[in-house]
Amino acid sequence: MDSITAIIFNTAFYVLMAAMALAFVRFIKGPTSADRVVAFDIMTIAGISVIVFISVIAQRVIYLDVAMVYALLSFLGVIAVARYLEGGL
C-alpha cells in the first residue's frame, strides 16, 4: 500500500472518530432512552467501519470477521432494547 492511500485511510479513520464523538455527546445528553439507543447505534456503525479500516491498514483479514460478529451482536442488542421499551421483556 503506497503512502497516499494510507494517508486517505487514516483520514477516514479520524473522520469516523469525530462522528463517534458527536454520537457520544448525544448519548450523554439524550433526553429519552430511545435517543441513547440511536446514538449507540451510530457509534456501533462507526465502530464497525473503524474495525474494517483498521483491518485494511494492518493488512489482516481476520479483523473482518470481528466486524461481522460485532454487526450481528449490535443488531441483537438494539432489538432487545426496543422490545424492552415496548414492554414485552
Partner 1 sequence: MQLIGAVISLLGAIIIFIGALGAFRMPDVYNRMQTGTKATTLGSMLAFLGVGIAVPGWIGKIVLLVLFIIITNPISSHALARAAHYSGIKLTEKSVRDNLEEDYPDEVDND
Q: How far, CA to CA in Å, does 12 sit from each of 2, 3, 17, 37, 68?
A: 16, 14, 9, 24, 20
Decide if residue 48 touches partner 1 (CB under 8 A). yes
Decide if residue 49 touches partner 1 (CB under 8 A). yes
Q: How far is the CB of 16 from partner 1 (least distance, A)?
A: 5
Decide if residue 60 touches partner 1 (CB under 8 A). no
Q: How far is the CB of 61 from partner 1 (least distance, A)?
A: 6
CA atoms within 13 A on the CB side of 29: 6
3-state helix, strand, coil in the chain (%, to 5): 90, 0, 10
Contact residues for partner 1, defined by CB under 8 A: 1-2, 4-5, 8-9, 11-13, 15-16, 18-20, 22-23, 25-26, 32, 34-35, 37-39, 41-42, 45-46, 48-49, 52-53, 55-56, 61, 64-65, 67-68, 71-72, 75, 78-79, 81-87
